[in-house]
A = this chain, B = another copy of it.
Amino acid sequence: MTYPRYTPLARSLPATVPFVGPETQERARSAAFAARIGANENVFGPSPKAVSALRDSAAALWMYGDPENHDLRHALATHHGVAPENIAIGEGIDSLLGYLVRLMVGSGDAVVTSDGAYPTFNYHVTGFGGVLHKVPYRDDHEDPEALFRKAAETDAKLVYLANPDNPMGSWHSGAQIVAAMEHLPEGTLLVLDEAYVECAPEGTAMPIAADDPRVIRMRTFSKAHGLAGARVGYAIGAPELIAAFNKVRNHFGMNRSAQIAALAALEDQDWLANVTALIAAARTRIEGIARQNGLSPLPSAANFVAIDCGRDADFAKRVLDNLITLGIFVRMPFSAPQNRCIRISCGTEADLDAFAAALPRALDRAARG
């Protein structure tokens, strides 16, 4: 067959996708979910000021967005007390991870991550021919020192660490990660995914200079800011590295209304405080529902709670499948032993009412095999 004439790398790539979306599952079951609490979206929504900004900018969407993301980049710089040259903006953290991997990882280059951490990062690494080395979780936490030691052992270009962690919700203090960096080898870039950090206790964000060339931090408007569907993420890093994104990024890739909405969301810190309180309350309620059903919720600093179903992965998978059958969209960790858990995103009262009603039935059905 003459067509298509892929590159050898493209030909070798699997056809798998990182995640199946809830809409796909809804189409398969021919019914909408009663609760959409599986993708760690923020059910409490974006700031009303961001919603107003979206509505007000709708008719002007005939214009391309500013390819320099000037206003949002400058506002983020001010917010974080860094220079605009420390900030790269992209179509969600997913796209920024893709650009970063493309810049750094070629065929056969080593990359380190945790076994069971963010699959989309792995998708990008594989997609550019990198070789993944996986380090196990320790007590349901990502293990910075072990990750950095593995990076030294494999001469890794990148090491990925999410803090707070997804899917477990566990976290380290930023100071602990800085301390562990004594084990980070020269030449390995730490990709610190802080997607959930706005939901976490004070001190979780990494206290490190934005110009430090050893680390790039990823942030997003998809979680606490409630704009997952807008696709706005950003990276904080050393200026030379940040500038390199200009070599490969889709310069006109940002949705113009998303740029405007993210700026409005950033400026509404009161709403952010309100939402993070609602998230904390929802975590507490999820923990209560778990305990009422004899299950063990794991402590979480994110907008979801991993619940230990108390048995093996097969059991947790049956619980999950039954929840989905009962109209509750949730997900679960991919790797052992974390896949003894299911992962419940913070929901509205109504979402968690539906979850509370469904969980006993799902557990009962799962127990019957």
Which residue numbers of A lie inside 8 Å of B, CB to CB? Answer: 2-10, 13-15, 17-21, 23-24, 27, 36, 39, 41-46, 51, 54-55, 58-68, 70, 91-92, 94-95, 98, 102-106, 109, 120, 127, 157, 186-187, 189, 213-214, 222, 226-231, 238, 240-241, 243-244, 246-248, 250-258, 261
Contacts and interface: CB of A to CB of B under 8 A. Distances in A.
A62 B91 contact: no
A244 B10 contact: yes
A41 to B, nearest CB: 5
Contact of A247 (B8, B13, B45): B13
Nearest to A52: B58
A66 B21 contact: yes
Nearest to A231: B255
Contacts of A103: 4, 6-7, 10
A64 B228 contact: yes
A251 B213 contact: no
Q: Which of A98, A105, A246, A252 has the most CB of B within 10 A?
A: A252
B51 A59 contact: yes
Stoichiometry (number of copies)? 2
A14 B246 CA distance: 9
B241 A3 contact: yes
Contacts of A64: 21, 39, 41, 222, 228-229
Chain A facing B: main interface SS? loop
A35 B168 CA distance: 52
A304 to B, nearest CB: 14
B248 A231 contact: no
Contacts of A109: 7
Given A3-B238, A21-B66, A23-B68, A106 B247 contact: no
B106 A9 contact: yes
A252 B127 CA distance: 16
A53 B48 CA distance: 18
A63 to B, nearest CB: 5
